[in-house]
Structure formats: C-alpha cells, structure tokens
Amino acid sequence: MEAGNERMIHEILPVGVLQCNCSIFGDEQTRQALVIDPGDEIEEILTVVRRHGLTVKAIVITHAHIDHIGGAHKLKQATGAPVYMNGNDEALQAMLDVQASWLGMRPPEPVQIDAPAREGDALALGSAQFHVLETPGHTPGSISLWIPAEGKLIAGDTLFRDSIGRTDLPGGDGRRILRSIHDKLMPLPEQTIVIPGHGPNTTIGREKRFNPFLQGLE
C-alpha cells in the first residue's frame, strides 16, 4: 500500500434532538481518536470508540451551542481527554442553562475547557493534521477544522449543504459568517468534503456553485 493512501476511521453520528453531526476520527496505527462535537448520546459515541479499539485523545468543540457541547462533560469524564474550544465562545458557554431553556431541556453539566482552539493551531492524529480555522459569524468563537490529509472540512454550523448557519441567536453576525466562508472556506480545494454540523455532507465546489447564500460572494 502506498503511503498516504490509507484513510483514517471516520464515523459521523447524528446525536441529540437537533441531530448534531458528531465526528469520531480514529488513526489505524496509533488507535488514537479525536471526537468533535459530542452534543449528546455519549453512550453511543463510546460504543463506536470501543468497537474500533480506540482511545480518545482529544475532544474538540466547534462552537458552544448546547447541541454541540452538551455531552462534552460526560465524554471528558469517561475518557479523561482534554477539551479544545475557541475562547470567543466562553460567554455562550456560560449561558448553557439559558440555551437549555430554549429547547426545554435540562441544562447539562458545564465542561472545563483545557485548551483554546485558535487560528493556526493544529491537532495531530497519527500523521494527519487537523488545522483550526476561526470562522466566526454563527457564534463569535465558531471554528472549522481542515484536514488536508483526508481532504475533509468539519464545518460546524458555519456552512451547510445549500445553506449557512443562522445568525439570529446571541453573538451571531450575518456579515461575519459570509466573510469567514469567503476568506477561510472558499479557498480550500473544490473537491474538499464538507461535513456540516447538521444534515448531509457536501463539497466546497458544490456549495460555490449552488449554495444560494454564496452566490455573488466575491
């Protein structure tokens, strides 16, 4: 087998009432895993982790909305893995109880953030690098993760197939989200597979051509 041709384990699990796409990446050699947006259903996430014989090395939160961060405390307790989140979402994280009331849910235990996820940071998993792109707009601290070795982008709630993230919640900014998409996501290779925070996958090229929110965005 040629080096660089193996793909890593990648399972996408829609979790919770809002069906947030939780991504579980696993490296075949080191058996280490990275879990992104464990919003809920931590038992299901742990079942996938165990089925592949993986050890969770890090938990990454794309933004502090409850459907993305709600299960992080439980997963951290179960695995001991450090949690990464951009500091600009701390204010939102501090109002998880308010967010829970929007959804009529019981507020989850708040999770302690161990490390900031800032523009230019990269997390390594095996030989792959997960590059942090700051993509504010949906929330002030929204990040996306660009994984060149896999040709994949974890987009959080910034970019969706045929849509973009809502900006009417506290901290949202409609102009900023378009600037983030234009400056950080559009320059990625067209064949990049985009895994949004909810709903089906897409590609950068497809969204450039068909996403109605991005037409004329030059």
Strand partners, 59: 35, 83
Q: What's the token pair of residue 211? A: 């996403």
Min dist. Cβ of residue 207 to Zn ion (A): 18
Exposed/middle/buried for residue 9 (C-beta within 10 Å: 0-12, 13-18, 19+) = middle
Q: Which residue, among 71, 11, 15, 10, has the nearest Cα to 197 in the 3D structure?
A: 15
- Give Rg (Cα) of the chain: 16
Min dist. Cβ of residue 78 to Zn ion (A): 24
Min dist. Cβ of residue 70 to Zn ion (A): 11
Cβ–Cβ contacts within 10 Å for residue 127, how many? 13
CB of 41 or CB of 157, closer to Zn ion:
157
CB of 65 or CB of 184, closer to Zn ion:
65
Minimal CB distance to Zn ion: which residue? 65
Min dist. Cβ of residue 92 to Zn ion (A): 9
CB of 49 or CB of 160, closer to Zn ion:
160
CB of 27 or CB of 67, closer to Zn ion:
67
CB of 124 or CB of 178, closer to Zn ion:
178
Min dist. Cβ of residue 137 to Zn ion (A): 11
Footprint on this chain of Zn ion (rule: CB under 5 A): 65, 157
Q: What is the rounded CA–CA span in Å between residue 176 and residue 66? A: 21
Residues near 84 by beta carbon (within 8 Å), at least 6 away in sequence: 58, 59, 60, 61, 113, 114, 115, 116, 117, 123
Min dist. Cβ of residue 29 to Zn ion (A): 33
CB of 32 or CB of 86, closer to Zn ion:
86
Q: What is the rounded CA–CA span in Å between residue 102 and residue 105? A: 8
Q: What's the token pair of residue 137? A: 């707009």
